[in-house]
Structure 1
């Protein structure tokens, strides 16, 4: 990590996100944008009579955070450690999302899925960042 590229999130010369705060901030911003887009599309379809408002799957709000996670995953090119960190973080984050969805089961699918996507986003960001850095120190 010799030099840092400018912009946000802050990245090192290899393109890896430098801080957990940057990863969480950008991934949560992506979640908010995704959820707002879902609300807008759901409202528009409900307005033209193509369904009831709130029945869109809120899990779709995870698209932008997953794109960011994929970009950071690709920046770590040292081998098996990044794969292990990504798989473990994904497994735990999916379980966290499913638990959040289960706890919010009585709500509209948009809200239930949105909360599940939030749990996934936060869980994956924290576990991926901590895991890949820990494994990088151990293997490299």
Structure 2
């Protein structure tokens, strides 16, 4: 099984995303789709009197990027330390995302501040994971 040119992001034979730019573009597309879905759901909820618009958690916009990261994590199964890399990357990304969301909370409703926090977390995680897992793999320590 060779490299597939028909999927985006492009992946190698083991299912690993080939380029950081494509990983981040996929994350961005997933975030936009998640935010649009939340806007529709929140809008319909407010039309039916189930709450005020903007009160849904914007953190839910990160569902598609998390799915992508799970698949990426699984593709690197032979690299020792991938669990640690995922945990460190996740911790740093979550801390920064929460901090940004907390600052944005004063100007945006939960939908907006959560979406901003989710975007920051997902994009930072993507960079940290991509660089970190390749660094571990280059050290040549297989499972």
In structure 1, the partner of 2:2 is 3
Query: Which portions of structure 1, spanning 4 or more consecutive aligned residues, are displaced by more than 2 angstroms?
Result: none
Secondary structure at the aligned position of 1:80 is classed as coil
The aligned runs of 1:21-100 (5 Å cut-off) are 21-100=21-100
CA contact (8 A) 1:9 1:23 kept: yes
TM-score (norm 2): 0.93
Report Cα offsets for 1:64-99 as digits up to 9, x if no partner: 000000001000111432112111110011001111
Q: Please list every run of 5 or more consecutive structure 1 residues that lacks an aligned counterpart in the other structure.
A: none
CA contact (8 A) 1:56 1:109 kept: yes
Secondary structure at the aligned position of 1:126 is classed as helix
In structure 2, the partner of 1:135 is 136
Secondary structure at the aligned position of 1:12 is classed as coil
- For the aligned residue pairs, the C-alpha RMSD in angstroms reads 1.2
Q: Please list every run of 5 or more consecutive structure 2 residues that lacks an aligned counterpart in the other structure.
A: none
Give 1:43 deviation, angstroms.
Answer: 0.2
In structure 2, the partner of 1:103 is 103
TM-score (norm 1): 0.95
